[in-house]
Every structure is written in C-alpha cells, then in structure tokens.
Amino acid sequence: MYHSLGQIPLRDRLGIALHASDGSVISRRLSTPGSPNDGRSPSYKMKARTMTAFSANLNKVALLRNTRDNGLPDVCRFSRLCVASGAAGITVHPRPDERHTRPSDVHELRQLTRQLRVEFNIEGYPTDDFLSLVYTVRPEQCTLVPDAPNQRTSDHGWDVVAQADLLKRVVPPLRAAGIRVSIFMDPTPEAMSLVPATGAHRIELYTEPYARDFPTARRDAALAQYAATAQAAQQVGLGVNAGHDLNLDNLGPFLRAVPHVEEVSIGHALIADALELGMSEAVRRYVALCQTH
C-alpha cells in the first residue's frame, strides 16, 4: 500500500481514489474498475475527516425519458454533465417494472462510468434478475434495499434479524465478485452490531425520517439518532453511506452532525433543483456541501 502521495505513480494520481495508510480518503475518484475500497477501516477515531462523495441518482431523468419514445432526456448525457460538475459517482435503481432505469441503461452506464473512472452504484432488491444484472456489469458498489416489486419508493431499511438468512445468502457472492456491498438501514444504533454477520461492507442510512423532521423541533433528536447509528456502525468496522430525501437545505446540517459519512446518493431533490438551477449548477452545489462539511 502507498503511504504518501509522492509514492504513487503520476498516472495513478489523476482522477482516482487514493487512501492514506489509515484508510482515510485523499481523493474520491475511482482507482481501478472492479477493485472498490471495501468501506472498512478499523481506525475511524484516528482518521481525518472523511471527504463525503456525492453520487448522482439519475432515475428521475430516466423516468422523464420514458414518457416519450425519442430518447430524451439522455441518461448518459446527464451522467457526463454530473461527473463534469464534480459528482464522484452515478447511482441507479432499476426496478422490475422498468418505470425509470432499464437494464439497457445499466449496461450503457457501466461502460460510461468506466470511461469516466467514477463509481457506479446499483440499488435494488436482490431478486435473481437483479443479481444477474449486477454480476454482469460488476459495479463498484451494490446497495441492497428491501423493496417490494411494486413499491413506489424505498421507505424502510432491512430487518437484519428477520431477513438475516436472505442477506447472508446474497451478500457473500457479491463480495466474492469484487463488489462493495451496502445495505439500506433505518437509524437504529443497536442493529449495527448485527450487520457484519451479513458480510456487508457498508450501511446506507435511510434518511427520509430525518428529512421529515428537519423543519420541526425534532431535528436535533433526529440528528442525534443518526449520529449514534453511524458511530455504532463504524465501531464494528462498517462504512456509512446515506440517502433518501436529502436536499440542499438539510444535507449540510446532516453531514456536520453525522460522523464520517462516506457517500450520499441524491436523486429526487437533485432533479428538482436542476429544473431551477440547471443540472451542472445543482451538482456543483451538492458537491460543495459534501466538501465543506
């Protein structure tokens, strides 16, 4: 392992992810496709502040495209815009009904993210079809969510007791394929000690409850709950991602309160902001929040 930036060949310094000897992140661009950082660092208390990566979820771009047959807006074009504006990765959630992202999008985005040398994150419930798609394209990260096939959007995390057998069956083969695995979790500190048994590298904190409480007197209590959950996860060696209903107003306070968030993936609010600001400016604002908190 390289222990200083000077030891790393110049060709490997350009637009890639570098990690110091303690696991802290120097840069968030991807190193080599198929060899993700596994999200486990035994020294969270010692490491420098984590630089949070911003991953642009483009499901809503695909949703709009699917209302016509002319291919507009182009998901790959918007992916390029996001990356050019500072996004460290692209996220999609291909659902069984193909209401937004389709398998063909996943294949095209896999090629594009490799070309752009950024992370590709695929979310979904681990059906046989979903897992087959993931194994075929080999994203850097697969985020498993406990969604029913007809669910409108993700609205709860995994029950790592009741659903332990399923997770223990599907996570290890994903790891063996070189894919970092994150599982969607509610902000429940006491559940974090059960996650390592599934084999997951990271959790993704389901943040809709925080977003709902943000404009109310419950904000501080919600932030304390998320901070405690993140700390509990990190104490057992898990990396922490976050996502769902984060936006330009509530993201900064969340990152200030919750320690060492590795990555946030944001889609719905990103597209809402892009309608007003333009996609490039919206991405730049999210990236700036990730870099300054």
Would you say residue 34 has pLDDT above 80?
A: no
Would you say residue 290 has pLDDT above 60?
A: yes
- pTM for the full predicted model: 0.83
Would you say residue 51 has pLDDT above 60?
A: yes
Residue 135 token pair: 């194994």
Categorize the per-residue pLDDT at 44 as very low, low, confident or very high, splitting at 50, 70 and 90. Answer: very low
Q: What mean pLDDT is predicted for residues 99-123?
A: 96
CA 170 to chain centre: 19
Give me the pLDDT at residue 154, please: 61
Q: What mean pLDDT is predicted for residues 104-119?
A: 98
Is the CB of residue 88 less than 8 Å from the CB of residue 29?
A: yes
> What average pLDDT does the structure give for the chain?
85
How many angstroms separate the CA atoms of 25 and 74, rounded? 32
Would you say residue 244 has pLDDT above 90?
A: yes
Identify the residue whose tokens are 């599934």: 198
Would you say residue 199 has pLDDT above 50?
A: yes
Number of H helices, E strands in the chain: 10, 10
The DSSP annotation for 209-276 comes to: HHHHHTTSTTHHHHHHHHHHHHHHHHHTT-EEEEESS--TTTHHHHHHHSTTEEEEEE-HHHHHHHHH
Give me the pLDDT at residue 155, please: 59
Would you say residue 279 has pLDDT above 90?
A: yes
> In the chain, what are the domains?
52-292 (3.20.20.70)
Q: What mean pLDDT is predicted for residues 110-137?
A: 97
How many angstroms separate the CA atoms of 223 and 218, rounded? 9
Q: What mean pLDDT is predicted for residues 106-111?
A: 98
| Active centre residues (catalytic) | 93, 123, 244
